[in-house]
Structure 1
Amino acid sequence: MADEENFVLEGCKRRRDILKTGCSIVGSGLIAGCISDSNTSSSDETPTTTPSDEQPTAKSDDPTPYEVTVKPAGTHTFESVPETYASFIGVWMDIAMAFGIKPSAMMSLEENQLKYYKQLPDVTVDLDSVRTLMDSADSEFDKEVFYDVDADVHLMDPRLIRYYSGWEDKEIKEINRSVGPILGSTIRFPMGSDSYYTLYEAFEKGAKIFQRQEQYDAWVTLKDEVFSEVQSRLPDDKPTVGAFIIRFDTEGKNLMAAEIDAFRNDTRTLRKLGVNSAFKGDTYVRYKKIGPEKLLEVDPEYIGLVGNLTTSDHESFQQTLEAAKNDETMSALTAVQNENFVRTAGANMGPISDLFSVEAAAMQLYPDEFGEWPGSIGDIPTENQLFDRQRVSDIINQRM
């Protein structure tokens, strides 16, 4: 990982309009504000703004350059506010969508995450206009597509670009220099010794990139209100949850256990809801493969399916539940017998899906307080909704 840890983007102070043959980009109005460069905090909460190397940008019709640092990608000086972006589906797309900015290109087109946007009035994503950077999970990136898309910024972790493309550093640097800056960071969990951001630290970086401080502040206010309300209603007696990532093997042969209280984004929902983690261990562990015997020994009250709310629907989950109930070993688990499963948004969770995830999980874990979980975010009765969908849409559409 040495090359990845020391990877610094080249050409980050060059103007894109000099490197390209097209016209320079005209940005929208700039919002004054200084973004913190905090990235070592173990808190899930919004970071406190502190002086950093990122200078505040004044509102101007002719914006002066501004710098944004996203580790481990590096630092880029923007001459104007980016209007288009390419990304992986997940956190950074959700961050941009929280500002009302739709992608120009994605690694691949997946309908799963769009379910959250479909629940919001006046928020749509037209997939017909979005390019794909690769044909399938087994294919590699086509460098020419990057040139053809010509995105103003790539909200991607360079380590993942390297992983999916098989490119060498020189090819990644070429895209950064000749097409557009690569500014993204994987926040599912820490990768080696690299710097790591919490969800709202990454979100704050996105606000700096797109100069959307006012929208970001509105999101922070909304998020704080929602989580404060939820946490004020949590019972004193909280359940123990055994969280699993990637997928839940109903035969118990390939169980990837996650430490809920570790410094990671994918278990954020369960952590915010105060559950007890069934798998205590190294707070920086990504996951630990365990066998069915270990799971039976722990026998948590709930099985946490991290990411399942995004990747599966209610019908698919029911099939998973039935398969576990029909397995000789897994059927002995208390959680399986009581059908105590909790599905959360998980690895791809950004600020929009974060709200849906905590609402859904609160209902699954504490139905006496938050109402019975109907199985789908689209079926939650208005009286049980923990946040105002219209208010979210208004922030996204800058009607704060």
Structure 2
Amino acid sequence: MGVQTDIHEVPTRRETIKGTSALLGGSLLAGCASESPDGAPTDATDTTASQTTEDLTYYEVTIEPAGNRTFEEVPETYASIPGAWMDIAMGFGIQPTAVAAFDRLPLKYYDALPGVEFDADAVQTLGESAESQYDKEVFYDVDVDVHLMDPRMLKKYSGWKDTDLREIESTVGPILGSLIRFPFAGRDPYYTLYEAFEKAAQLFQRQPQYEAWVDLTESFHADIESRVPLSGEDAPTVAAFNFGFRPESGKFFAANIDAARNDTRSFRKLQVDNAFEGEEYVPFKPIGYEKLLEVDPDYIGAIGYLSYIDDARFQEIVEAAQNHETLSELSAVANGNIVRTGGQYMGPIIDLFSTEALAKQLYPEEFGEWPGSIQDVPQDEQLFDRQRVGEIVNGNI
């Protein structure tokens, strides 16, 4: 896209953040390969580098699609728009200076962690809703060190041109983020969750915290996956949907849970089968009742409803499906097997809660009953240590 090409040549912030070519002639320093909790190798040679001169220390971070940026100072403030990057930064205990808006922003996850605070009163908003037509003047007023947002999404939501993006990068701060929720513009996400998380660790120079997260998450997922009672040919089928599940709409947006996309990550961790396996996925093209009846999944998965739908509202949706003339014929609906996960805003913190919630919804006999709310899971039935997560978030590693 035009954004990706143009952004590579954008000057950066207040003489302290400079383009790659200005300092390193466009080349990166050698690094070493590592492996993320997603199982995907990462290569430090294309993500970070540091150089020291007599008077200056600086480091590089590459986050596609924007590309490479060089930092002389560690960013202290950031703004985010809908996606995983706020939760990623909160994994290091770094609260945003500004967010797109507070509608659907799932702050309850931070409330559920001992010692973790989110001061909403200290956070500015960039617009009236999560997908606002943003005003550039607001970005000037907020004046953050870095914008944790995919430049393609900022352009899509704001209606800006490439010159507007260059202006903000030149006079305010770099735009570094990457949509990992699902494919965008015909291509899969550049990064898995933990690859993006590692990028943020490099950006904020929080590598020890990141490594603590890796240890905790690998242990958590290994425990979950080892206890899943049904897998392989015996695994239940799940029809997962983006943008909610509205029984009366007749339009349902199927999500490929087998893809590397971040919003279906919880389903992969629970080793379920994709009810739409082999089907052609066309983003934003809905399927109807007939197709749902054809695949007749064991479970229906509402991506994101764990984050911004409370249990009372969710039960209303389940009941609406059960009372629906057509949907009531589905096995999943008849058996009350409609489940929900974290979805859109899912970074490392929400990932833990989402996986725990889905495990309990699918297999209560193994993992304990799902009470309907993350706050109501009894301490002796919690699948990960909230106290330890809070300690890592606060830097007590």
Give the alignment's TM-score, normalised by structure 2: 0.90
Contact 1:44–1:198 (CA under 8 A) maintained in structure 2 = no
Contact 2:78–2:147 (CA under 8 A) maintained in structure 1 = yes
SS of alignment partner, residue 188 of structure 1: coil
Aligned residue among 67, 71, 85 for 2:78: 85
Match of 1:200 in 2: 194
Tell me whether 290-299 or 94-103 shows the greater mean CA deviation.
Answer: 290-299
Contact 1:253–1:292 (CA under 8 A) maintained in structure 2 = yes
Relative to structure 1, the CA distance from residue 286 to residue 235 in structure 2 (aligned partners, 3 Å threshold; closer, same or farther) is farther
Contact 1:69–1:75 (CA under 8 A) maintained in structure 2 = yes
In structure 2, distance between residues paired with 1:144 and 1:11: 19
Aligned residue among 206, 212, 237 for 2:206: 212
Match of 1:16 in 2: 14
Relative to structure 1, the CA distance from residue 221 to residue 282 in structure 2 (aligned partners, 3 Å threshold; closer, same or farther) is farther
Aligned residue among 110, 116, 123 for 2:103: 110
Match of 2:226 in 1: 232
Aligned residues: 382
Contact 1:344–1:357 (CA under 8 A) maintained in structure 2 = yes
Match of 2:119 in 1: 126
Contact 1:243–1:304 (CA under 8 A) maintained in structure 2 = yes
In structure 2, distance between residues paired with 1:283 and 1:5: 27
Aligned amino acid, residue 64 of structure 1 = T
Relative to structure 1, the CA distance from residue 18 to residue 278 in structure 2 (aligned partners, 3 Å threshold; closer, same or farther) is closer
How far apart are residue 247 of structure 1 and its match? 1.2
Match of 1:140 in 2: 133
Give the alignment's TM-score, normalised by structure 1: 0.89
How far apart are residue 375 of structure 1 and its match? 0.6
In structure 2, distance between residues paired with 1:284 and 1:79: 43
Contact 2:87–2:346 (CA under 8 A) maintained in structure 1 = yes
How far apart are residue 397 of structure 1 and its match? 0.6
Relative to structure 1, the CA distance from residue 138 to residue 244 in structure 2 (aligned partners, 3 Å threshold; closer, same or farther) is closer
Match of 2:90 in 1: 97
Contact 1:187–1:264 (CA under 8 A) maintained in structure 2 = yes
Contact 1:261–1:277 (CA under 8 A) maintained in structure 2 = yes
How far apart are residue 148 of structure 1 and its match? 1.3
SS of alignment partner, residue 185 of structure 1: coil
SS of alignment partner, residue 213 of structure 2: helix
Structure 1: give runs of 5+ residues left out of the alignment.
20-32
Contact 1:155–1:184 (CA under 8 A) maintained in structure 2 = yes
Q: Deviations over 1:326-368 (max 9, x none)?
A: 1100111111111011110012210000000000000000111
Q: Deviations over 1:69-127 (max 9, x none)?
A: 11111211101100000001430000100000000011112354101101001111111
In structure 1, distance between residues paired with 2:295 and 2:351: 28
Match of 1:258 in 2: 255
Aligned amino acid, residue 371 of structure 1 = G
Contact 1:262–1:285 (CA under 8 A) maintained in structure 2 = no
In structure 2, distance between residues paired with 1:87 and 1:348: 11
Aligned residue among 154, 162, 166 for 2:147: 154
- How large is the Cα RMSD of the aligned pairs? 2.6
How far apart are residue 384 of structure 1 and its match? 1.3
Match of 1:364 in 2: 361
Aligned amino acid, residue 144 of structure 1 = E
In structure 1, distance between residues paired with 2:32 and 2:192: 14
In structure 2, distance between residues paired with 1:310 and 1:121: 19
In structure 2, distance between residues paired with 1:329 and 1:195: 35
- Percent identity between matched residues is 56
Match of 2:158 in 1: 165
Contact 2:321–2:327 (CA under 8 A) maintained in structure 1 = yes
Relative to structure 1, the CA distance from residue 50 to residue 74 in structure 2 (aligned partners, 3 Å threshold; closer, same or farther) is closer
Contact 1:65–1:78 (CA under 8 A) maintained in structure 2 = yes
Contact 2:47–2:63 (CA under 8 A) maintained in structure 1 = no
How far apart are residue 9 of structure 1 and its match? 3.6
Structure 2: give runs of 5+ residues left out of the alignment.
18-29
Aligned residue among 344, 350, 373 for 2:370: 373
In structure 2, distance between residues paired with 1:35 and 1:352: 27
Relative to structure 1, the CA distance from residue 52 to residue 285 in structure 2 (aligned partners, 3 Å threshold; closer, same or farther) is farther
How far apart are residue 379 of structure 1 and its match? 0.6
Aligned residue among 333, 342, 345 for 2:342: 345
